[in-house]
Amino acid sequence: MEIFTQVFLAALLLAMGIQLYLDYRQIRHVRMHRDTVPEAFAERITPELHRKGADYTTARTRLSAAENLYGAGLLLIWTLGGGLSWLNGFWQQWELGPLVTGTGFLVSLFLLFSVLDLPFTLYRTFGIEKRFGFNRSTPGLFLSDRLKQALIALALGIPLAALVLWLMDAGRNPVAADYGNEGWWLYVWAVWMGFNLLMLWAFPSIIAPLFNKFTPLEDRELVQRIESLLERCGFESKGIFVMDGSRRSSHGNAYFSGVGNSKRIVFFDTLLETLNGEEIEAVLAHELGHFRRRHVAKRLGTVALLSLAGLAALGYLMGQPWFYSGLGLTEPSVHGALALFLLVAPVFTFFLQPLMAAVMRRHEFEADDFASRQADAHHLVRALVKLYRDNASTLTPDPWHSAYHDSHPPAPVRIAHLSAKTG
């Protein structure tokens, strides 16, 4: 067994071991506290609803553990099991040329991944979500969504994959003499970041309306309250919209998206049914806190740095024979190198996850601090408790699991942080 194969297997086993241990801790901790509502929530969340949140979290965690094991098995099949070599041979037999072959290889690979993940998606939607009363999607709507997602992925993915492979192929021939521009990864990085910015612009106005209906908010009193908040925060938007999220789920949320003139504020209709005007203002103030503290720009900057480092690493790895042979790919190629890197990189970056989660939790605290200055912290606390209740969010997550995975602070910690600002 090659050294890199041993390194890969060790990293995969360690990552899976940590993940399964954290899932075990989460299930044990949540179930231990299933019958006891935390004191800070005792007056607003009933024991029955608290138990529902515990059971919902347990079910989702068990499914996540099974999905991770399944994903690890698929990864081994695609790499050391020869799956990528088989798929590469399938495309090579048609003699379509390097660019068409490589593009077809990548697109078909990720379409296969989507199909293989379908059983878990179906069970999550029509099993767990339905069992706990959240799912409102129908099989027809689910199928329509998946077909739309596939068509959008093909429309965007095929030209993106072809452009990336063209730039890579013009830079280095795997395991052979260098030719052309060896700095291809800088050009690919520029294309990737441009694509991300394009999606930030296109999602709210072009892609999202393909799945949901967006209508202007009609409640004039609420509109005036929101416009006053926007003016205080120095935020300009293209509009305030209500999304028919209730077509698919009873979960509620609010967000703003877009860049430049395409920024828009969106409320799920389920959220408007749950919260009053003061609470909606507080929730939106939190979202605007992310904007004012430049969290979106900071996260985009992090993506830029990590992707640049990753592409630079790929630039080195694609010229190393052990990279291919160590991961089961018998014939080195540009598209094979890219596929291997995309499949294997999450195994090694898994260990960065707690750091990224800690940064995102800090951003949530900063957004809460901003919201408490622009709106009443009492209203944000009430809104969050309602959202925890209606979304069946656990109030007692395991501290280790939360520290490793959660992008938001645990409910008791967050509520205590906000309550301290209410005096």
Among residues 371, 228, 406, the alpha carbon closest in space to that of 292 is found at 371
Q: Hunting for tokens 């800090």 — which residue is that?
A: 362
Does 33 count as an annotated binding residue? no
| Cβ-contact 42, 11 below 8 angstroms | no
CB within 8 Å of 197: residues ≥ 6 apart: 259
- The H or E element spanning position 286 is helix 277-292
- What crossing angle do the helices spanning 277-292 and 353-374 adopt, rounded to 10°? 120
Q: Hunting for tokens 């830079």 — which residue is that?
A: 171
Strands 240-243 and 264-268: parallel
Distance CA 67, CA 113 (A): 13
Q: Hey, is 266 helix, strand or coil?
A: strand
Active-site entry in 55, 279, 281, 368: 368
Among residues 325, 362, 375, the alpha carbon closest in space to that of 225 is found at 375
- Environment class of 6 (CB within 10 Å of its CB; exposed 0-12, middle 13-18, buried 19+): exposed
Q: Hunting for tokens 């068509």 — which residue is that?
A: 151
Measure Cα distances from 189 to 55, 79, 312 in Å.
43, 25, 9
Among residues 88, 106, 210, 111, the alpha carbon closest in space to that of 159 is found at 106
Distance CA 59, CA 23 (A): 11
Strand partners, 256: 265
Distance CA 129, CA 251 (A): 10
Active-site entry in 23, 287, 390, 398: 287
Our answer to whether residue 287 is catalytic in this structure is yes
Output the CA torsion 160→164→170→174 (10° steps). -140
Give the number of other CB atoms < 10 A from CB of residue 371: 28
Distance CA 338, CA 157 (A): 14
CA atoms 222, 224, 230, 236: torsion sign = positive
| Cβ-contact 130, 250 below 8 angstroms | no
Does 251 count as an annotated binding residue? no
Q: What are the structure tokens assigned to 149, written together?
A: 């997602």
Numbered residues of the known binding site? 286, 290, 364
Numbered residues of the known binding site for Zn(2+)? 286, 290, 364
Catalytic residue ranges: 287, 368
